[in-house]
Structure 1
Amino acid sequence: MTRYILKRILGMFIVIFLVLTIAFLIVRLAPGDPAALMLGPEATPEETAALRTELGLDRPIVVQYFTFVVNAAQGDLGTSLFFRQPVTQVLAARAEPTIFLALFSLVFALVIATPIGIYAAYRRGSFLDQSAISTAMLAASIPSFWTGLMFQRYLATDLGLFPASGYGGPDASFIERMGYLILPSIVLGIVNSALILRFTRASMLDILGEDYIRTARSKGMGEPRVVLRHALKNAAIPIITVIGLTFALLVSGAVVTERVFNIPGMGNLVVSAVLRRDYPVIQGALIVVASLYVLINLVTDLLYLTVDKRVRY
């Protein structure tokens, strides 16, 4: 097991190192002078030269790369050109709504998809099974921004059940801010529940046809115990995999929903950074999101050990 964990951790560091390299190359491979692109066409040559010196772009490329990697390893991702603050502080200030939005969306997706997927597999071919598959395909096909706008119009504006947009004022409490995330979490949960539902159903269908399931039934074991204890436990690895991937996608892909509901998260920050040509923020966000990806994959791999003991070998 120790070897298994060490291999996964080593792979995680390799991926992060490659991401650091890609983030470094993004600015250097951009057409024209990166400093001129950041400052815009109205910048004077003196301002451009000063920014090149500040960013270290006047040094040899090898020195720039080594300095960038060393600073990133120490948690220094540079300084935002727009906010004039360290990138880590800018990202940390925007991380809370994005992380909680992803968590709430994942919980909502699991509440919808897992029981329906299990029951659809158990009643294969039934009306409920066909309805669940059709609904999942429909949910996956509808753009999240359209769903968000419809929910915002009818549930928030017309019925007043949820806040329409925003993340609360500066003095808002934590509970109040979380209330602003309920409606966008429902939107993202519905969209992402389709993939979890289909994987849960497919995985359960494979297990329910196994010989040991028929043996358990022939011994008189109750159906809930057969389905939940024997079938679901052995079907858990593909389900855990898709849950981990879904959470990673929610963290990195909630840009549209954050824009629709005006949530000041990391997705909204990256879009604004692109428009402002704030390359240090873009680089930092790329590194942070990639690190979250590999960390979630590592946690998913470690969960395999607790679900299926055979993974140890």
Structure 2
Amino acid sequence: MLRAALNRLFGMLVVMALVVTVVFVIVRVTPGDPAAVMLGPDASAEDIEQLREKLGLNGTILEQFANYVAGVLRADFGQSIFLGQPVTQALMDRAEPTFFLTIFSLLIATAIALPVGILSAYWRGSMFDQAATALAMFAASVPSFWLGLLFIQFFAVHLGWFATSGYGGPGTPLFERLHYLVLPAFALGLVSSALITRFTRASMLDVLNDDYVRTARSKGMGEWRVVLKHALKNALIPILTVIGLTAALLISGAVVTETVFGLPGVGNLVVSAVLRRDYPVIQGALLVIAGLYVLVNFGIDMLYLLIDPRVRY
């Protein structure tokens, strides 16, 4: 088990090294002077030279790369051009809405998808199965931002149950802030539940007719105990995989949803940085999102070792 964990950890470090290299190269291959691109056509030569010095673009490529890697290892992603603060601080200030939105969306998606997928597989070919499959296909094709706009129109504007946008003021209690996340979390969670539902159904169908399931039934074990304890446990590997991928995609895919609901999260920060050509913020956000993506997948791999002993061998 330790060897498997070390192998996956080594693979994670290799992936992050590649990500750091790619993010570094992106700015350097930008047509023209990166500093001039960031500041726009109205910038003076003096402003451009100052920014080049600030970004460390005056040294050789190897010097720039060494300084960049050293900064990344210190969690120093540079200084935001427009916010006038370190990129790390800007990301931390915006992390709370994105973190809770991702968690709530994943909980909603899992709470819907697991029971629906299990029941759909158990009642294969029934009206419930056909309806669940059709709804999953429909949910997978619905853009989350469009669903969010419908939620705003109905639940916020028409019924007045929720705010149309925002995340509360600086002194707003955390519980009240979380109230602002209900609509965006459901918009993301409903769309994300479609993929988990389909994978749960397919995985359960693969194991429900296996010999050990028939043996458990022949011993007189309760039907739902057979389904949940024996079948579901052996079907969890692909289900956990898709849940992990969904969590990682939610982290990076909340950009549009946060913009629609006016949430001051990392996604909104990235959109503003792209519009302003604030490359240090874009680079820092890419590294953080990629790092979280890799960590989530590493955590799922570790769960494999705990759930299924066969993976250890």
TM-score (norm 1): 0.99
Mapped partners of 2:146, 2:216: distance in 1: 46
Mapped partners of 1:12, 1:92: distance in 2: 23
Amino acid of the residue matched to residue 283 of structure 2?
Answer: Q
Residue aligning to 2:312: 312
Q: Deviations over 1:110-153 (max 9, x none)?
A: 11110010011000000000000000000111111111111110
Q: Deviations over 1:18-59 (max 9, x none)?
A: 111111111100011000011111111111111111111111
Mapped partners of 1:287, 1:55: distance in 2: 17
Matched, 1:6 2:25: no
Matched, 1:128 2:123: no
**What does residue range 94-113 of structure 1 map to in structure 2 within 5 Å?**
94-113=94-113
Q: Deviations over 1:232-283 (max 9, x none)?
A: 0000011000000000000001111111101111111111001111000000
Amino acid of the residue matched to residue 89 of structure 1?
Answer: Q
Mapped partners of 1:150, 1:160: distance in 2: 13
- For the residue of structure 1 that corresponds to 2:168, the secondary structure is coil
Residue aligning to 1:287: 287
Mapped partners of 1:161, 1:232: distance in 2: 38
Mapped partners of 1:258, 1:63: distance in 2: 37
Alpha-carbon deviation of 1:161? 1.9
**What does residue range 1-313 of structure 1 map to in structure 2 within 5 Å?**
1-313=1-313
Alpha-carbon deviation of 1:71? 1.1
Q: Which runs of 4+ in 1 moved over 4 A?
A: none
Amino acid of the residue matched to residue 101 of structure 1?
Answer: L
| Matched residue count | 313
Amino acid of the residue matched to residue 215 of structure 1?
Answer: T
Mapped partners of 2:311, 2:195: distance in 1: 24
Mapped partners of 1:162, 1:201: distance in 2: 34
- For the residue of structure 2 that corresponds to 1:286, the secondary structure is helix
Alpha-carbon deviation of 1:219? 1.2
- For the residue of structure 1 that corresponds to 2:94, the secondary structure is helix
Alpha-carbon deviation of 1:171? 1.1
Unaligned runs of 5+ in 2: none
- For the residue of structure 1 that corresponds to 2:30, the secondary structure is coil
Mapped partners of 2:163, 2:49: distance in 1: 47
Mapped partners of 1:208, 1:281: distance in 2: 49
Unaligned runs of 5+ in 1: none
Percent sequence identity over aligned pairs:
62
Alpha-carbon deviation of 1:96? 0.9
